[in-house]
Amino acid sequence: MENMDLLKISYLLGSLSFIVGLKMLSSPDSARKGNLYAAVGMLIAILATIFFHEHTNAETGEVERIGNLGYIIGGIAIGTIVGYLAAMKVKMTAMPQMVSLFNGMGGACAALIGIVEMSTHHPEFWGERLIIFLGLMIGSVSFSGSMIAYGKLEGKIRDIGSKVQQVFNNTFVFAILALVIYASIQPDVLSGNAIWVIFGCSLLYGILFVMPIGGADMPVVISLLNSFTGVAAAFGGFLYDNQVMLTGGILVGSAGTILTILMCKAMNRSLWNVIIGAFSASGGPAKSTEGLSIREINVTDSAILCSYAQRVVIVPGYGLAVAQAQHVCHEFEKVLEDKGVEVEFAIHPVAGRMPGHMNVLLAEADVPYPKLKEMDDINPSLPNTDVVIVIGANDVVNPAAETDPSSPIYGMPIIKANTAKNIIVMKRSMAKGYAGIENELFYDDKTRMLFGDAKATLEKLIAEVKSV
């Protein structure tokens, strides 16, 4: 069997591994194994390319193999070590930042492929140039946009945007697309420097695209940028006639796009608003809470209320991750269940800072997955719930999304914690959520505020519940 046949078979196995791995990611029970399947598929593709790929030199007619193996293996080793150490050391609160950073690296790779191909091989067919330019453009946008998203999640970059910027962004992106098409048809445009102009403009657009987007919308942005990277990788697969690269890119691009659409639906937004950059947290002035008062509750009374309840629902949010309280929360759940209390977790699609953030957080603490209920499944049962405990969540339980047309989050589906019989909100302070608006739930007659660090407060609650 010839090397190219072995290469095709290896690519087929790699592609199948990607598909099976992605399918297994749909269930928490098989997600870990699915991730390993996909990693093995990538390893097969890399090794097969190194050892089996051949091409014929157009000038000499000789069959050549891939060279510079020392550099290739060295690069793989460095990337593996850095990636492993970063993944092992990252805290759950910083997981969204790492996802943005790694996704940006994927976009940068796609952009570099375009630059190298256009600079060294000078393709003559306009369709090939179009694929290179589109891959370069999308990869560059993904890279610079992901870096800005990383900065926003780290709190180092603030939201900057206006209506004028939205108009400029929309005009700018269409201008880049027009240049891409024209440069593909007329390769001598800009004296052969079109690749660098497109690269620079795309980097700038990625920055301008993400800058005005509010922090509360960041999970959708991360998902969208992830799909951009997949599409850029798919263009690379077209360019190299590489089946495994094409399959992987299509899977990432389509999965990211589907997830983005589902998250937009969960926030009552349109995908078009995301793409044109109108997906910001700006909005009209929220309804005033002046004259309203909050009611506090202490740990002892909270423990009594939970201990004698028949059903308790916990709504986790980013504050739970910040306090690193997921393990203590699971212990609290088990203590209540030992007293005969039914406990479930209500998960909002965009709770946290990235898609599935709360699911991953609670899975790390070994919370049984059947206890994690999606928003649409849990809302109908909340009126029959004795106690809802909100831990670190804010905007995703804010009734203003349903009652205040002037609110920036109006129309966003929420977990209807306000329909429960009793509500306990655990927070450090009365600070506003990521959307920067007041939460009407805090002033509800059924709500009691339990102030303090989530982890320390839950530890006290556990001790009190055991003594009840």
pLDDT digits (tens, 9 = 90+) for 152-197: 878 788 777 677 877 888 899 999 999 999 988 887 776 678 889 9
Which contiguous run of DSSP H or E holds residue 372? strand 372-374
pTM, rounded to two decimals: 0.78
**Domain ranges within the chain, ordered by starting residue:** 1-89, 95-282, 299-467
* Least confidently predicted of 14-18, 124-128, 220-224, 276-280: 276-280
* Least confidently predicted of 18-27, 172-181, 326-335, 337-346: 18-27
Query: Which pLDDT score, from 0 to 100, does residue 283 have?
Result: 46
CA 179 to chain centre: 30
Query: Which pLDDT score, from 0 to 100, does residue 431 have?
Result: 67
Environment class of 389 (CB within 10 Å of its CB; exposed 0-12, middle 13-18, buried 19+): buried
* Least confidently predicted of 245-249, 277-281, 296-300: 277-281
Distance CA 365, CA 360 (A): 9
Give the residue numbers marked as catalytic: 395
Nearest to 393 by CA among 166, 229, 216: 216
Distance CA 3, CA 408 (A): 59
Name every residue whose Cβ is closer than 8 Å to that of residue 461 and which is 6 or more positions away in sequence. Answer: 299, 302, 303, 306, 332
Does 386 or 293 have the greater pLDDT score? Answer: 386
Q: Quote the strand ranges of 235-317, DSSP E.
A: 311-316
Query: Which pLDDT score, from 0 to 100, does residue 280 have?
Result: 46
- Domain 299-467's class? alpha beta
Query: Which pLDDT score, from 0 to 100, does residue 74 have?
Result: 92
* Mean pLDDT across the chain: 85
Q: What residue spans of 121-242 are helical by DSSP H? A: 126-153, 163-185, 194-210, 218-240
Distance CA 253, CA 241 (A): 18
Q: Residue 327 pLDDT > 70, yes or no? A: yes
57: which DSSP letter? -
Confidence of residue 436 (pLDDT cuts 50, 70, 90): low
CA 236 to chain centre: 23
3-state per-residue secondary structure call for 205-228: HHHHHHCCCCHHHHHHHHHHHHHH
* β-pair partners for 64: 55
* Least confidently predicted of 333-342, 407-416, 437-446: 407-416
Tokens of 49: 């390319």
- Give the mean pLDDT of 248-253: 90
Environment class of 156 (CB within 10 Å of its CB; exposed 0-12, middle 13-18, buried 19+): exposed
Highest mean pLDDT among 48-57, 163-172, 200-209, 265-274: 200-209
Distance CA 278, CA 281 (A): 9
